[in-house]
Amino acid sequence: MLSGAWRAGVWRLLALVAAAIAIGAWFGQPAAAALIVVGAWTALMLHRLYRLCRTLDSRTLLRPASGRDLWSRIGQNLAQRQRASRRTRRRLIEQLRSFRDAAAALPDGVVALDAERRIVWFNAAARDLLGLDPRHDGGAEITHLLRAPRVVQWFAEGAEAPLTDVASPADDHVRLSLRSIPYADARSLLVARDISQLQRLEQVRRDFVANVSHELRTPLTVVHGYLDMIEPESLPEYEPILRELRLQSRRMTQIVEDLLTLSRLEAQQSTPDERVIMAALLESLRREGVALSQGRHQIVLERVGDRDLAGSTKDLHSAFSNLLSNAVRYTPDGGRIVLRWECDESGGRMTVSDTGPGIPAQHLPRLTERFYRVSTSRSRESGGTGLGLSIVKHVLMLHQAHLEIHSEVGVGSRFVCVFGPERLLPAALPQAS
Ligand code: ADP
């Protein structure tokens, strides 16, 4: 390329000189004409050289060249540039090396994957946690090495949310959490973290709560039983104390029962897939609501769609009944409570809505935490344990469903249990009597 441009330049000069000689010969001065053309050409070249020199000077990273003639300035400039680019390259290599060393020293397993999910690089922790072999596994597709069906499916579905509690391919006792972090050009980083210790602690916590609740159950039943045996009328001066004792012992029993329910749900991995006959379940919920409300509210049942659900009747009844009892407890007298079951191709939705006080928006994200209450005194007065929505969340999780909460202060609340289409069953035929 460069020699082509050089040759074209020489040809252009020769053509100009030839043309000058021809025109000069016409006037009888061929040598003078050739000299004028060569002089002008040289001046033009010097001007361009000057501009090039200025550009190089202005872009020099270090200090401008100090040579007196243009050629030596350009020479100095180019030499400086070469030295600077060598230094930059060395610095970049060092930085790259220190990045790799830092990533290699991470306690989490890190695997760099290309757009086809083939392994580009991995660190020492990935070798230990994921059982990867640096001699053979570079370039292999990650799903050929991590072959657990859950992991393969997770990758197939885009690996967006973290995947927890995966057994390490290197050691069954090590439990991992996997995260995929996308970066440039559809490449991604697979990060594997050892969560065995965390899981053990979580198990200890669960066992502790379950054991304490279990241990408290019997003494509470005894206390409750004795309190029930005492007739307040026979001890009129202790009547208010007895009433309070009964109330509190009932509350404690309810908390213990709710904690035991939660422990059972947490220990469960899946639900029995029995047919939940929605028509019967809704009717029984309505009756429960009417009994709880004792005529203080208008309770309405709406059934749009006649599909049943696959899951645990007992657990789903407990979840829906928690939502209904909240609606009754928090909605002032004269309010309206609607139980609505609707289903279509996208799934099923069980909604409990009320015209109660509503919940300020800042509380909504934390409402399903254990013992989280908007107003502790109001919850206690109404006989709440602070565990109801936590139970609802766990029951729904076991059914691969989720809870949506919509609420507006002064207008009311709407709790929606959203089920996927795979949970819907054609409605059962009515039994012949
Ligand atoms: P609790 O036993 O205290 O009712 P939950 O877990 O069932 O506990 O509910 C958590 C909190 O959410 C309640 O303390 C209450 O402040 C709020 N809440 C739940 N349902 C409603 C409702 N329908 N209307 C207004 N507030 C509600």
Instruction: Please give all residues whose beta carbon lies within 6 A of any atom in ligand 1, as ranges.
Output: 322, 326-327, 330, 354, 356-357, 359, 367, 372-375, 379, 384-390, 413
DSSP character string of 294-324: TTSSEEEEEEES--EEEE-HHHHHHHHHHHH
Residue with CA at minimum distance from ligand 1 atom 14: 373
How many whole angstroms separate alpha carbon 60 and alpha carbon 152? 53
- What percent of the chain is predicted at pLDDT more than 70? 96
CA of 309 to the centre of ligand 1 (A): 26
Per-residue pLDDT tens for 157-198?
Answer: 999 999 998 999 988 899 999 999 999 888 999 999 999 999
Ligand 1 atom closest to Cα of residue 372: 10
Number of H helices, E strands in the chain: 12, 13
Per-residue pLDDT tens for 39-78?
Answer: 999 999 888 888 887 787 776 555 556 666 777 777 888 8
Range in 62-71, 236-245, 334-343, 414-423 the model is least confident about:
62-71
pLDDT of residue 350: 97
Residue with CA at minimum distance from ligand 1 atom 21: 326
Question: What are the E-state strand segments in 41-186?
Answer: 109-113, 119-122, 163-167, 175-183
